[in-house]
Chain A
């Protein structure tokens, strides 16, 4: 187990090191698919320069990282490359060792044994991760914080889980929605029934919530004392929520708001943002027995609907796909959907070239491929979701269903 893992890590590090040194690194770092205004390395450098000059990094419109990150890099700037290359990878692998705990018991131990390796493979050798790492996108840090959070949750440590969730929320706001699955999982671990009338349920919920809120407040106050101003609140969270930067990316926001009349945009920003958070409620009700699957779906929803998505976010939820490999046989469109995703990934740069460099296409071409890519992702997630539900149904009702008249029945999604 350890040997292949080491091999995978070595391979992953070699690929990244080779790409760092090659001329491709600049090209990748400039791709809008890889670096968003929130996490581009260029902008971090700008923020650092401003900080060095004694100017608030948020005084311009360039820098949108949180204060802690900038101070972190302030110390680490010389080792930045190493930080990017090693930090997140090591952490993720540690996480993945525990990931199979959530895999269904029905799988043989042999299968389970390989899942961490597969997860590591999926994450470390995923071209999306490699690209966002080579672009030095700070998305890697967000991902590792979220990975830590999941690890802590799986280990059952409510305190660490709350702290890391607070960190993740502080970093990019959207992980707020992961609160529900984490709480559900911890409750399940404590064998506390999820009933609105039960006292212990409320007690534990209050406990976890206050832990989370306290750490969030501490982190935010710490940022305040570092910079001595509240500038970062509008500059980071206002930037995430009100979407002022309409640089094209792989998300759904930019085209929509570039085309829209100004006086409608506030309403639609609200609609789009509520959309991200809204799915938590129905999913929490439907998947309250399966918080880990809930977590996966929620991560995917964040990465599809967030305001500045990059391929690094997609890589995070894709790393979870091997965990659900037992759903493989219930998936129906996996071939077509993976083809759609692969084709779209290649068409992004092609259409970008036609639009920006050759001038023979326009933004509609690029947005068309963005839409296709996102629809592909949504269908993929719903395919997994449906497969999960079907599997649950078979587990409770037995595999060979019969109709009332004795013929073989079939499950149909209506």
Chain B
């Protein structure tokens, strides 16, 4: 019948697989890497697929520059006077502009002090005004968000928001409600507002009853702006857990930038020169690399990142003022925002036409899932090949234990092989690996009180140090576990390695769908040691390889690589500081916004890696 049901053919294939396994693995791994590096060349141009936004023309008539600046000054003055967000002034101003104004107070106690933002007990108020659509019932809404952080930042953004609200109030064509939202404590406020608006409580956020609602939010834009003039606009797309907004929203932004002559950047990188060229390719690859790192990190690239989980397509726009000669005033950005809102106002259904799973080597080009998935697929193939090889060797050694050779079959008179209950020796390493992962996940935050009592460290430091301590302690486990039990010999480590390979493949497959970048980075680092590891012989090179590719160290490498790609290389000391900060922020992200990165690493990648480490030291 088929190729696989013919025993001759199967045997030949099996033999081929056994003999050529290592070269095939190396080839597959290298082609996976090469595929990824070639992605910038495979990227087609972006195009707007949503009809409702594409064919209709809108003319922007606003000139908001001076008014925005005046409002920004007023706002700054009141903020300095009140030492926080001037709720009453904002409410009053919005009311005067003709909006329906509400405010939402919220409070949140962090699990441990956040050193980067210097906060622990957070109290704040979100203020928002709703412009009810004159041409439709309030069933749908669009949102403009300005996070109002500490210091003098984002004053101009609030000014622009108010000016735009005033202008929009005078227009008659709105078919969707417009929500103008000013949040306090950036992401925390945004989280509180989103939870309140949708009537859910995902994190331990405390906020009062939600005062007023508009329709279902179709799209949201977040604005960050700290200067009166700007040279370029940077757009951030990565959301929480690497979720991305619909590509059409980005296309819309890009087309308006083009129309209004704004210079826009992605990941802080200018668009690469058109046409195939060396520098152009390098620029694209760098942008792509930054996007992959950002997405893998799972932290939202801006306040918009939290909207994606509520299925609201969102972008963050950041005004940049650099040393470039050509500057724009706020009016140009205001016109862009107005145009985008008018086009979004024309939407007949949710943004769903374009891509959701993509990577961007530049603003004008994209790589869709069909193009990038093979890169990870080839990495996974290595694991599959290795697992098959191990399985064949295992079943062969079983047949070979004094029984007839492969291909022949045992008859009724032959003694039956001993019961396969001999897998008990696998239980301790697996239990220990999973247990170490669980300890890594649970202990640092739960045990911070104990740690601060007994050691002279702050709470935030205690958490990070406990994390590192447990992580390193996990690596010492194989030595202590082997004393307690007798190893299963050759078959023992092969079975354990088989299990580790399957667990890793499963983890990477799931990640490939949920957060491709994270899956790919973990694959690139963990696949070679997983394929190569074996006990006995010279252990040092393998041990070195394993230690170098442990998820913790990969994170450190990622920090270094990110600085390198930003063309601001960091020294080891600075990178270490950033690494510690990233650990603390990673834990906080999980508790504050429900990010999945730290549980994934603690309960998925780390136990997998520990299993491999156990294989290496198998006796």
The residues of A with any CB-CB pair to B shorter than 8 Å are 106-108, 110-111, 114, 329-330, 332-333, 335, 339, 342-343, 346-347, 350-351, 353-354, 357-361, 394-395, 398-400, 408, 410-414
Look across to chain B and name the residue whose beta carbon is closest to the beta carbon of A345. B506
Q: Chain B contacts of A411 at CB under 8 A?
A: 7
Q: Given A410-B8, A413-B5, does the pair A350, B510 have CB atoms closer than 8 Å?
A: yes
Min CB distance B14 to A, Å, is: 11
Within the complex, which residue of A110, A111, A350 is in contact with B513, where a contact is CB–CB below 8 Å? A350
By the criterion CB–CB under 8 Å, are A410 and B7 in contact? Answer: yes
By the criterion CB–CB under 8 Å, are B409 and A360 in contact? Answer: no
Q: Chain B contacts of A332 at CB under 8 A?
A: 5, 10
A-B contacts, 18 of them at CB < 8 A, read: A106-B412, A114-B419, A330-B409, A339-B502, A343-B506, A346-B506, A346-B510, A354-B513, A357-B309, A359-B356, A360-B357, A398-B411, A399-B412, A412-B1, A412-B5, A412-B7, A413-B1, A414-B1
By the criterion CB–CB under 8 Å, are A329 and B513 in contact? Answer: no
Within the complex, which residue of A329, A360, A414 is in contact with B410, where a contact is CB–CB below 8 Å? A329
Look across to chain B and name the residue whose beta carbon is closest to the beta carbon of A335. B391
Min CB distance A400 to B, Å, is: 7
Q: Chain A contacts of B502 at CB under 8 A?
A: 339, 342
Min CB distance A323 to B, Å, is: 15
In whole angstroms, how far apart are the Cα atoms of A114 and B418 in the complex? 13
Interface flag for B244 (CB, 8 Å): yes
* Additional pairs, 6, CB under 8 Å, beyond known A114-B419, A359-B356, A399-B412: A111-B416, A342-B502, A354-B514, A358-B243, A359-B311, A394-B411
In whole angstroms, how far apart are the Cα atoms of A323 and B1 in the complex? 29
Look across to chain A and name the residue whose beta carbon is closest to the beta carbon of B498. A335
By the criterion CB–CB under 8 Å, are B514 and A347 in contact? Answer: no
By the criterion CB–CB under 8 Å, are A399 and B513 in contact? Answer: no
Q: Chain A contacts of B243 at CB under 8 A?
A: 358, 360
Q: Chain A contacts of B244 at CB under 8 A?
A: 360
Interface flag for B6 (CB, 8 Å): yes
By the criterion CB–CB under 8 Å, are A351 and B409 in contact? Answer: no
Interface flag for B83 (CB, 8 Å): no
By the criterion CB–CB under 8 Å, are B5 and A400 in contact? Answer: no
Tell me which residues from 356 to 401 in chain B have a Cβ below 8 Å from any Cβ of chain A.
356-357, 387-388, 391
Interface flag for B349 (CB, 8 Å): no
Interface flag for B509 (CB, 8 Å): yes
Q: Chain A contacts of B514 at CB under 8 A?
A: 350, 353-354
In whole angstroms, how far apart are the Cα atoms of A343 and B380 in the complex? 13
In whole angstroms, how far apart are the Cα atoms of A332 and B5 in the complex? 9
Q: Chain B contacts of A413 at CB under 8 A?
A: 1, 5
Interface flag for B408 (CB, 8 Å): yes
Min CB distance A163 to B, Å, is: 37
Within the complex, which residue of A108, A343, A399, A414 is in contact with B411, where a contact is CB–CB below 8 Å? A399
Look across to chain B and name the residue whose beta carbon is closest to the beta carbon of A369. B513
The residues of B with any CB-CB pair to A shorter than 8 Å are 1, 4-8, 10, 243-244, 308-309, 311, 352, 356-357, 387-388, 391, 407-412, 416, 419, 502, 505-506, 509-510, 513-514
By the criterion CB–CB under 8 Å, are B513 and A395 in contact? Answer: no
By the criterion CB–CB under 8 Å, are B407 and A410 in contact? Answer: yes
By the criterion CB–CB under 8 Å, are B416 and A108 in contact? Answer: yes
By the criterion CB–CB under 8 Å, are B419 and A111 in contact? Answer: yes
In whole angstroms, how far apart are the Cα atoms of A357 and B7 in the complex? 46
Look across to chain A and name the residue whose beta carbon is closest to the beta carbon of B241. A358
By the criterion CB–CB under 8 Å, are B416 and A107 in contact? Answer: yes
In whole angstroms, how far apart are the Cα atoms of A413 and B509 in the complex? 33
Min CB distance A109 to B, Å, is: 11
Min CB distance A348 to B, Å, is: 11
By the criterion CB–CB under 8 Å, are A395 and B509 in contact? Answer: no
Look across to chain A and name the residue whose beta carbon is closest to the beta carbon of B384. A339
Q: Chain A contacts of B309 at CB under 8 A?
A: 357-358
In whole angstroms, how far apart are the Cα atoms of A412 and B2 in the complex? 11
Min CB distance B401 to A, Å, is: 13
The listed residue with most A CB atoms (<10 A of its CB), out of B5, B8, B513, is B513
In whole angstroms, how far apart are the Cα atoms of A72 and B168 in the complex? 63
By the criterion CB–CB under 8 Å, are B411 and A347 in contact? Answer: no
By the criterion CB–CB under 8 Å, are B407 and A395 in contact? Answer: no
By the criterion CB–CB under 8 Å, are B1 and A351 in contact? Answer: no
In whole angstroms, how far apart are the Cα atoms of A346 and B511 in the complex? 11
Sorted nearest first, the 10 A-B pairs with minimum C-beta distance are: A360-B356, A399-B411, A106-B412, A335-B391, A359-B311, A350-B510, A410-B7, A413-B5, A350-B513, A360-B357
Look across to chain B and name the residue whose beta carbon is closest to the beta carbon of A105. B412
In whole angstroms, how far apart are the Cα atoms of A400 and B409 in the complex? 8
By the criterion CB–CB under 8 Å, are A399 and B311 in contact? Answer: no
Min CB distance A395 to B, Å, is: 7
In whole angstroms, how far apart are the Cα atoms of A413 and B505 in the complex? 32
Min CB distance B384 to A, Å, is: 9
In whole angstroms, how far apart are the Cα atoms of A329 and B411 in the complex? 11
In whole angstroms, how far apart are the Cα atoms of A107 and B414 in the complex? 11
In whole angstroms, how far apart are the Cα atoms of A324 and B4 in the complex? 23
By the criterion CB–CB under 8 Å, are B1 and A399 in contact? Answer: no
The listed residue with most A CB atoms (<10 A of its CB), out of B244, B309, B356, is B356
In whole angstroms, how far apart are the Cα atoms of A366 and B7 in the complex? 34
By the criterion CB–CB under 8 Å, are B357 and A329 in contact? Answer: no
Look across to chain A and name the residue whose beta carbon is closest to the beta carbon of B409. A399
Min CB distance B357 to A, Å, is: 6
The listed residue with most A CB atoms (<10 A of its CB), out of B356, B408, B412, B502, is B412
In whole angstroms, how far apart are the Cα atoms of A354 and B516 in the complex? 13
In whole angstroms, how far apart are the Cα atoms of A185 and B5 in the complex? 32
Q: Chain B contacts of A360 at CB under 8 A?
A: 243-244, 356-357
By the criterion CB–CB under 8 Å, are A394 and B510 in contact? Answer: no
By the criterion CB–CB under 8 Å, are A347 and B408 in contact? Answer: no
Look across to chain A and name the residue whose beta carbon is closest to the beta carbon of B509. A343
The listed residue with most B CB atoms (<10 A of its CB), out of A107, A360, A400, A408, is A360
In whole angstroms, how far apart are the Cα atoms of A342 and B507 in the complex? 12
In whole angstroms, how far apart are the Cα atoms of A332 and B406 in the complex? 12
Q: Chain B contacts of A354 at CB under 8 A?
A: 513-514
Q: Chain A contacts of B412 at CB under 8 A?
A: 106, 395, 399
Q: Chain A contacts of B411 at CB under 8 A?
A: 394, 398-400
By the criterion CB–CB under 8 Å, are B6 and A412 in contact? Answer: yes
In whole angstroms, how far apart are the Cα atoms of A56 and B36 in the complex? 62
By the criterion CB–CB under 8 Å, are A399 and B408 in contact? Answer: yes
Q: Chain A contacts of B387 at CB under 8 A?
A: 339
Q: Chain B contacts of A335 at CB under 8 A?
A: 388, 391
Q: Chain B contacts of A410 at CB under 8 A?
A: 7-8, 407
In whole angstroms, how far apart are the Cα atoms of A250 and B412 in the complex? 40
In whole angstroms, how far apart are the Cα atoms of A9 and B495 in the complex? 28
By the criterion CB–CB under 8 Å, are B409 and A329 in contact? Answer: yes
Look across to chain B and name the residue whose beta carbon is closest to the beta carbon of A398. B411
In whole angstroms, how far apart are the Cα atoms of A110 and B409 in the complex? 22
Min CB distance A24 to B, Å, is: 14
By the criterion CB–CB under 8 Å, are A399 and B357 in contact? Answer: no
In whole angstroms, how far apart are the Cα atoms of A343 and B514 in the complex? 15
In whole angstroms, how far apart are the Cα atoms of A342 and B506 in the complex? 9
By the criterion CB–CB under 8 Å, are A347 and B513 in contact? Answer: yes
In whole angstroms, how far apart are the Cα atoms of A123 and B177 in the complex? 55
In whole angstroms, how far apart are the Cα atoms of A114 and B309 in the complex? 50
Min CB distance B359 to A, Å, is: 13
Look across to chain B and name the residue whose beta carbon is closest to the beta carbon of A333. B4
Look across to chain B and name the residue whose beta carbon is closest to the beta carbon of A325. B420
Min CB distance A306 to B, Å, is: 28
Min CB distance A413 to B, Å, is: 5
Look across to chain B and name the residue whose beta carbon is closest to the beta carbon of A386. B5
